[in-house]
Amino acid sequence: MFEQLKSQPSDKIMELMSQYAEDTRTNKLDLGVGVYKNAVGATPIMKAVKKSEEVLHKLQDSKSYVGLIGSIEFSRNIGELVLNNSVDKKRLSYAQAPGGTGALHQLLLLARATKSVGNVWVSNPSWPNHQAILTHLGMNSSSYYYFDEITCEVNFDRMVHDLNNMKENDILLLHGCCHNPTGANLSLEQWVDLTQLIQEKNVLPFIDLAYQGFGDGLNEDVEGLNYLIKNVEEAMIAVSCSKNFGVYRDRVGVAIVVSEASKKSVVQDNLKSLNRLTFSFPPDHGAAVVNQILEDNTLKLLWKEELEEMRMNMLDLRERLSSELHRETKSDRFSFVSAHRGMFSKLGLTSEQVEFLRKDYGIYMVSDSRINVAGLRKDVINYLASAIANVI
Ligand code: LMR
């Protein structure tokens, strides 16, 4: 039977992880997968997470099932963090899911189950798994212009030009903040304009939020999203806690649906059933850890401090890399690096240049020239900048 199977295209981020692991050079530099690293290149467990695990260790007295949609308390706490009371709670449905990817997947299943979805509009470029999941689910998609490869900024006029082709019941997939892979974000004014377009076209906004707190701050990063949610009737939000709580391998995510209050129970019922059909129960440990942090003021404060420290480190690395590139290339070509936000920046290099960096310098970035800024250390910034200057 299995001879009928075709081999699958590999995800370029995952492929890069294995290539890096196999490289025996001691000066190799991993700027690939989006994992936060500290000043010595490690990804330690956040103190708030460790302390929360200690509390759970003492308090938890059962590993029995929680429920098909996981912990509702956890989902509500995440809902508050993300939505900041921008919508009446009577209009919110939740389902805990295995990571942001799990939440994306479940929400797309929900949309598909309505049997009325047209095209799902995905930014060009986007996180590669967006398109891969859509293809896997057999859903139609279109791409919209997002990033200008020359200026390395959002080209909003061209984006709107493309989105004017959206039809009623299409879905518009947006990155809540810290756009992956580009690092180029929409301004609040642009979110306001998009909200109007979404209303005019009567399409469903679908927001992937995986980096809240990594850009301009916990609340600042969701200002655009909050404005949007305040002004639309329906929306879907896939939230990941992998990065901002550093619980990557524990798979912590939430699928949130905004609907009319009268539709809440049927939406909730469908989310529950889709969880049952896909994996039954979402994994509990990571969500319980995050919930404990959000429920306990001392732990929450500690988490916020740690998150802010990570954010400031990334900003500092951006400033340093931008000025080092300015020095090495004697140009402003890379000044966008300090204006981008979040873990990633797309540098606008060709795939050949990226390949040279890997072969000749042991520098690993995704083939579209996305770097994980958080993978940098101060002591290697000069090495990276001079290598880039040599290959361009
Ligand atoms: C990334 O984009 O590097 C992360 O979101 C990890 C992943 O799953 O691709």
Specify the CATH number for the domain of residue 280: 3.40.640.10
Residues 282 and 308 in one domain: no
Q: Is residue 56 part of a domain?
A: no
Mean pLDDT on 326-337: 97
Domain end marker among 267, 295, 323 = 295
127 lines ligand 1 (CB under 6 A): yes
Q: Is residue 57 part of a domain?
A: no
Atom of ligand 1 nearest to the CA of 242: 5
Q: Is residue 124 part of a domain?
A: yes
Atom of ligand 1 nearest to the CA of 101: 8
Closest CA to 110 of 225, 257, 239, 253: 257
The vertex-81 CA angle with 75 and 85, nearest 5°, equals 100
Residues 307 and 182 in one domain: no
Q: What is the pLDDT of residues 43-87, one digit of tens each?
A: 999 999 999 999 999 999 999 999 999 999 999 999 999 999 999
Q: What is the pLDDT of residues 144-175, one digit of tens each?
A: 999 999 999 999 999 999 999 999 999 999 99
What is the model's pLDDT at position 9?
85
Residues 217 and 339 in one domain: no
- Which distant-in-sequence residues (6+ apart) come within 8 Å of 244 by Cβ? 211, 212, 213, 214, 307
- Give the chain's mean pLDDT: 97
What global pTM score does this model have? 0.96
Q: What is the pLDDT of residues 25-40, one digit of tens each?
A: 999 999 999 999 998 8
Question: Active site includes 243?
Answer: yes
Q: Which of 33, 175, 364 to mutate to test the pocket of ligand 1 (most atoms within 8 A of CB)?
A: 33
Residues 81 and 42 in one domain: no
Residues 171 and 136 in one domain: yes
Residues 83 and 202 in one domain: yes
Q: Is residue 107 part of a domain?
A: yes
Residues 96 and 184 in one domain: yes
Count CB atoms within 10 A of the CB of residue 383: 17
Q: For residue 131, how far is its CA from the centre of ligand 1 (angstroms)?
A: 14
Question: Active site includes 157?
Answer: no
389 lines ligand 1 (CB under 6 A): no
Residues 224 and 313 in one domain: no
Q: Is residue 261 part of a domain?
A: yes
- Which distant-in-sequence residues (6+ apart) come within 8 Å of 274 by Cβ? 95, 106, 109, 110, 113
Owning domain of residue 78? 65-295
16 lines ligand 1 (CB under 6 A): no
Count CB atoms within 10 A of the CB of residue 360: 11
Q: How many domains does the chain have?
A: 2
Q: For residue 330, how far is its CA from the centre of ligand 1 (angstroms)?
A: 32
| Buried b or exposed e, range 277-304, using 16+ CB within 10 angstroms | eeeeebbbebbbbbbbbbebeebbebbe
Residues found in the chain: 392
Q: For position 364, which CATH number holds?
A: 3.90.1150.10
Q: Which residue has the tokens 């939740």?
A: 94
186 lines ligand 1 (CB under 6 A): no
Q: pLDDT band for 350, please (50, 70, 90 cuts).
A: very high
